[in-house]
A and B are shown apart, each in its own frame.
Chain A
């Protein structure tokens, strides 16, 4: 299989930028990173076609290996539709987050922060008798 080097370089550059953006805290950048990564993946599927050929419309006079492989194109179409739907949902999510909390950040989990603050102690039950209900001296020094 021969692949186009230009496509491979473009794909790697897109993946690199996408990873960088996905690791950001800002949600808008995460969205941009996702779009880049989605398109880089589509490009990866396209690269898997190998050498470009004729449009895959059946003609008895053309040898089968001269056609372009049509299956990856179908896969890309499906992937594009899914990426489009999900990114519009993500956009709505970001907008909602902005409207509600005025934040555009991946925020830390509240419970995680609370746990980091210190262990939650369960108080031990009082086992020593209360002074009002016992005749025994409570303190060891008194007993002496």
Chain B
């Protein structure tokens, strides 16, 4: 079973190599990419079941034992994240294949899309299974470098502009992460997470807090925690729709995943928890207010993404089993729902030719399927019962109420308010883009007229119809089904999240997983 651990990294990497080899032929490229991700989903599910029922999987790369060699480790949290990420990546890939087929994009820039996408998958998987900090850094770099390529895909002016912001901000966060690894190594003489956790108590408290803050800042930029979230709404919306969907769903959550590891395994102490709670509150409120002010669907969704990161940080900041469990469930819910909403935004863009809610209208009548595919995840994100968004928030609020002080109740109030503001922002999209009639939109022109005008003069027939390919709709519908299934099977999934949270109650379980031979407390020399 342990052999499955490196496979989640190897399969997408080999897939990327193969897709590069067949780069000129789009059809085998698509088949290889999709089958690699299907296999990944299957492996993820097998690992999750195994890890949940039997115990964590550990792989010592090259046969070198833990503190000296590199450890790959899959516990409940990592397995859950692998399954959810693989499902989301698969759905987005199918969506982009549908889009590519319809547009006939067989030329050069798109032939690098599939390899880059698979390398992004590799980076995500490395980050999830990494058992030492430097490996985590390498995983982050793999996924970031491929995300640089994807966000500037095609190299148009607006994408370059947005890409520059994204690249520079990510570079700074990576350097901060690397510098904190250097300082941790200097202070403790190791980069293996389990060994850091064993030795961290030997350091004076002020040094601990310094290292803790450096790691949190580095991951906070990646997770888009206020005030480090400014880059996200500027850079995500300009990328191609499927790229934005994958980024929005996954990349920030990997930052949150790293923060969970830091807070539970490396620095389990409560020193910074109040500060994190205040940051969570600000992230929620500022993000939601930003969403209310925007007029573009993708930007509204980007701001709601920022604001909902606050909920996850809240769960982590509580420092209790219930809080961590609620945060893990919320991550799973949010990855799926946010990706679905961005895919739906891609469909809206295709149907209406724009994502500005000032310029589109009447979609409920002209595209009822898209309307349904937007409405269900929108309610879910807004936290309407009985959807998983409501369940996740309920779990978070219960865990927060256990703490019972003024800050906790302020956070519950803010959380409820932000949930309403999210709903308001999304309902505004609904009533303007879907509900009002098309002729209520100023300066609207008929879609048919536009497609005639846009059609190239050289072809005799009008080929420039903007009909939405069935594959795109199908993959979005698939994601909506998954998000509804998350509500239906919330019990078992919350159970896994709960057990994952119990595993992360302090570093003890993590250390035992990596060093099974050690007696309690004593370090192996």
Chain A residues near B455: list those with CB within 8 A: none
B319 vs chain A, min Cβ distance (A): 30
Residues from 74 to 109 in A contacting B, C-beta threshold 8 Å: 75, 78-79, 82, 85-86, 89-90, 93-94, 96-97, 100-101, 106-107, 109
Is B161 touching A48 in the complex (CB atoms < 8 A)? no
A57 lies within 8 A of chain B by Cβ: no
Residues from 281 to 296 in B contacting A, C-beta threshold 8 Å: 293-296
A96 to B153, CA, bound (A): 12
B234 lies within 8 A of chain A by Cβ: yes
Is A109 touching B234 in the complex (CB atoms < 8 A)? yes
A45 to B184, CA, bound (A): 10
Is B160 touching A100 in the complex (CB atoms < 8 A)? yes
Is A48 touching B186 in the complex (CB atoms < 8 A)? yes
Chain B residues near A27: list those with CB within 8 A: 164
B155 lies within 8 A of chain A by Cβ: yes
- Say yes or no: A97-B160 contact (C-beta < 8 A), given A38-B175, A106-B165, A111-B296: yes
Is B432 touching A93 in the complex (CB atoms < 8 A)? no
Is A106 touching B175 in the complex (CB atoms < 8 A)? no
Is B185 touching A106 in the complex (CB atoms < 8 A)? no
Overall SS of chain A's interface = helix
Stretch of B58-66, B73-81, B166-174 contacting A (4+ beta carbons < 8 Å): B166-174
A81 to B293, CA, bound (A): 42
Q: In the complex, what residue of chain A is closest to B178 when comparing beta carbons?
A: A41
Chain B residues near A93: list those with CB within 8 A: 152, 160, 163-164, 167
B228 vs chain A, min Cβ distance (A): 15
- Say yes or no: A78-B164 contact (C-beta < 8 A), given A22-B172, A109-B234, A115-B293: no
Q: In the complex, what residue of chain A is closest to B170 when comparing beta carbons?
A: A86
A71 lies within 8 A of chain B by Cβ: yes
Per-residue CB contact flags for chain A residues 31-64 toward chain B (1 = under 8 Å, else 0) read 0001001100100110110100000000000000
Chain A residues near B161: list those with CB within 8 A: 97, 101, 107, 109
A107 to B161, CA, bound (A): 7
- Say yes or no: A37-B295 contact (C-beta < 8 A), given A72-B185, A89-B148: no
A124 lies within 8 A of chain B by Cβ: no
- Say yes or no: A47-B165 contact (C-beta < 8 A), given A78-B138, A100-B157: no
Residues from 123 to 180 in B contacting A, C-beta threshold 8 Å: 134, 138, 141, 145, 148-149, 152, 155-158, 160-165, 167-168, 171-172, 174-175, 178-179
Is B145 touching A41 in the complex (CB atoms < 8 A)? no
Q: Which of A96, A112, A122 contacts B155 (CB 8 A)?
A: A96
B388 vs chain A, min Cβ distance (A): 31
B181 lies within 8 A of chain A by Cβ: yes
- Say yes or no: A34-B168 contact (C-beta < 8 A), given A45-B182, A48-B183, A78-B138: yes
Is B138 touching A44 in the complex (CB atoms < 8 A)? no
A132 vs chain B, min Cβ distance (A): 19
Chain B residues near A106: list those with CB within 8 A: 164-165, 168
Is A115 touching B294 in the complex (CB atoms < 8 A)? yes
B299 lies within 8 A of chain A by Cβ: yes
Chain B residues near A120: list those with CB within 8 A: 295, 358
Q: In the complex, what residue of chain A is closest to B140 when comparing beta carbons?
A: A82
Q: In the complex, what residue of chain A is closest to B149 when comparing beta carbons?
A: A89
Chain B residues near A5: list those with CB within 8 A: none
A33 vs chain B, min Cβ distance (A): 9
Per-residue CB contact flags for chain B residues 219-244 toward chain A (1 = under 8 Å, else 0) read 00000000000000010010000000
A51 to B138, CA, bound (A): 27
A27 to B511, CA, bound (A): 44
A71 to B175, CA, bound (A): 18
Q: In the complex, what residue of chain A is closest to B358 when comparing beta carbons?
A: A120
Q: In the complex, what residue of chain B is closest to A107 when comparing beta carbons?
A: B161
Q: Which of B149, B160, B182, B183 contacts A96 (CB 8 A)?
A: B160
Chain B residues near A6: list those with CB within 8 A: none
Chain A residues near B237: list those with CB within 8 A: 111
A78 to B138, CA, bound (A): 8
Chain A residues near B167: list those with CB within 8 A: 86, 89-90, 93
Residues from 325 to 367 in B contacting A, C-beta threshold 8 Å: 358
A9 lies within 8 A of chain B by Cβ: no
Is A22 touching B168 in the complex (CB atoms < 8 A)? yes
- Say yes or no: A30-B183 contact (C-beta < 8 A), given A78-B138, A82-B141: no
Residues from 181 to 207 in B contacting A, C-beta threshold 8 Å: 181-183, 185-186, 191
Q: In the complex, what residue of chain B is closest to A109 when comparing beta carbons?
A: B234
Chain A residues near B157: list those with CB within 8 A: 97, 100-101
A1 lies within 8 A of chain B by Cβ: yes
- Not counting A41-B178, A44-B183, a sample of 7 additional A-B residue pairs whose C-beta atoms are within 8 angstroms of each other reads A34-B168, A44-B179, A47-B186, A78-B134, A82-B145, A93-B160, A115-B293
User: Top 7 nearest A-B pairs by Cβ distance?
Assistant: A48-B186, A45-B182, A109-B234, A44-B182, A100-B157, A97-B160, A120-B295
**Contacts A/B (CB < 8 Å), 11 sampled:** A45-B181, A48-B185, A75-B134, A86-B171, A93-B167, A97-B160, A100-B156, A100-B160, A106-B168, A109-B161, A109-B165
